[in-house]
């Protein structure tokens, strides 16, 4: 496919990512409190629905990647739109907590087949070794998910309530996301994968590649843990250091623009450097930001800008590093396998963070985040030793 024709595909996928992230991962940021207040369901169980969904997404991700490697991403992304629509309808109509949690199983299927990793695999299947710029651009679109959907959710809650908001998002998936996938995402090239005789495509690794795979899985696990803990507990952690609630919210709002700004800088580089540089820079920025918060330095805004910038380009690195390490032929299948530990970590991390906060306090939670972030820098540096030799 000619480069000029990539823009409709990337733009369509970008809109899909905004609506998918906004109606799943970011949904409860705005809806959890109204849900709990309206129904009387415990807030921890309302938020637990997202953890359940992330666990489902992690369980299905390896098969999703393998399927995209064989058949391309269009049927998977179309399925995601339908699963999310049905799951959101289930949330809207849930008469009790059991039905609510059951609906999150469908939302989780939609997340596992529709968030970044399936989208990255789709681009890798379409463009092969030339997919890196497309992946980078897609993360720029995805960075606006909370910017678009948080205000949209708040607007809808005021007018139609949380149940109506879930129905509205379901309608958007059926009327916007699904048509975009079916009309704008092309079929993949006919023979992109070179198969070893008798081998399942996408799963055979030599010793050096296996070490790289395990290291990358470790990076994604620790990265997902840190990101989820910070996302859920940031305001509480800042308040524990004496930051007023309004100021803590204002500081937290810096993360989104920092993520987008860092992705723009990465795009400006036009892929001239190895993606491991992006990953290493991301981990260093994250550890600097968290270390400043842990030390209690009076530069909270700068700390969160550094953290946000690191988290922003980390999203790019999750898609581009496997492409650089393993090549395009096995990319879709391996991205699916790598997605599992990160998603499971994101599902469990908020509960772990809450446990540490409750029983050991904010200082111990900051220390845990710092240790995890430093360990991830070490894993990123270790990947340099096992990368394919040019």
For the segment 332-353, what is each residue's pLDDT rounded down to a tens digit? 888 888 888 888 888 888 888 8
Q: Which of 251, 318, 262, 265 is nearest to 285 (CA)?
A: 262
* Mean pLDDT lowest among 286-290, 327-331, 364-368, 371-375: 327-331
Q: Is 50 exceeded by the pLDDT of residue 29?
A: yes
- Write down the residue that tokens 């309608």 correspond to: 171
Q: Is 90 exceeded by the pLDDT of residue 203?
A: no
Q: Which of 366, 229, 364 is nearest to 294 (CA)?
A: 366
Tell me which H or E stretch contains 266.
Answer: helix 255-268
131's CB contacts (< 8 A; 6+ apart) are 120, 123, 124, 323, 328, 331
Rounded mean pLDDT of 307-325?
Answer: 88
Highest average pLDDT, of 98-112, 149-163, 175-189, comes from 98-112
Q: What is the mean pLDDT of the chain?
A: 87
Q: Is 80 exceeded by the pLDDT of residue 370?
A: yes
Distance of CA 29 to the CA centre of its chain: 15
Q: Which pLDDT belongs to residue 271?
A: 64
pTM: predicted TM-score of the whole model, two decimal places:
0.83
Dihedral of CA atoms 327, 1, 112, 207 in degrees, nearest 10, equals -10
Q: Is 70 exceeded by the pLDDT of residue 196?
A: no
């Amino acid at each position: 496919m000619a480069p000029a024709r990539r823009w409709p595909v990337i733009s369509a996928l970008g809109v899909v990512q905004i609506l998918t992230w906004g109606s799943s991962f970011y949904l409860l940021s705005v809806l959890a409190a109204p849900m709990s207040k309206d129904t009387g369901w415990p807030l921890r169980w309302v938020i637990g629905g997202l953890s359940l969904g992330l666990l489902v997404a992690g369980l299905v991700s390896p098969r999703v990647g393998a399927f995209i490697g064989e058949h391309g991403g269009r049927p998977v992304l179309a399925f995601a739109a339908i699963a999310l629509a049905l799951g959101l309808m289930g949330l809207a109509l849930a008469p009790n907590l059991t039905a609510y949690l059951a609906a999150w199983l469908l939302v989780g299927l939609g997340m596992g087949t529709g968030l970044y990793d399936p989208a990255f695999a789709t681009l890798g299947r379409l463009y092969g070794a030339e997919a890196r710029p497309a992946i980078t651009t897609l993360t720029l679109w995805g960075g606006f998910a909370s910017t678009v959907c948080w205000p949209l959710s708040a607007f809808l809650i005021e007018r139609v309530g949380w149940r109506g908001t879930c129905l509205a998002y379901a309608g958007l998936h059926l009327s916007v996301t699904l048509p975009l996938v079916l009309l704008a995402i092309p079929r993949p090239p006919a023979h992109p994968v070179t198969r070893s005789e008798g081998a399942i495509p996408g799963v055979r690794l030599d010793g050096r590649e296996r070490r790289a795979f395990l290291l990358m899985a470790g990076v994604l696990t620790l990265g997902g843990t840190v990101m989820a803990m910070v996302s859920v507990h940031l305001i509480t952690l800042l308040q524990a250091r004496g930051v007023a609630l309004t100021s803590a919210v204002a500081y937290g709002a810096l993360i989104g623009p920092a993520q987008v700004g860092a992705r723009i800088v990465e795009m400006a580089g036009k892929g001239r450097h190895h993606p491991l540089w992006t990953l290493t820079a991301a981990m260093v920025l994250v550890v600097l930001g968290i270390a400043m918060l842990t030390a209690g330095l009076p530069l909270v805004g700068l700390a969160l800008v550094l953290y946000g910038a690191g988290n922003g380009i980390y999203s790019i690195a999750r898609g581009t590093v496997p492409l650089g390490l393993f090549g395009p032929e096995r990319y879709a299948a391996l991205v699916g396998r790598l997605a599992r530990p990160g998603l499971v970590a994101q599902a469990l991390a908020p509960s772990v963070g809450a446990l540490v906060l409750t029983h050991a306090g904010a200082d111990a939670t900051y220390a845990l985040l710092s240790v995890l972030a430093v360990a991830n820098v070490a894993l990123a540096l270790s990947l340099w030793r096992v990368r394919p030799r040019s």
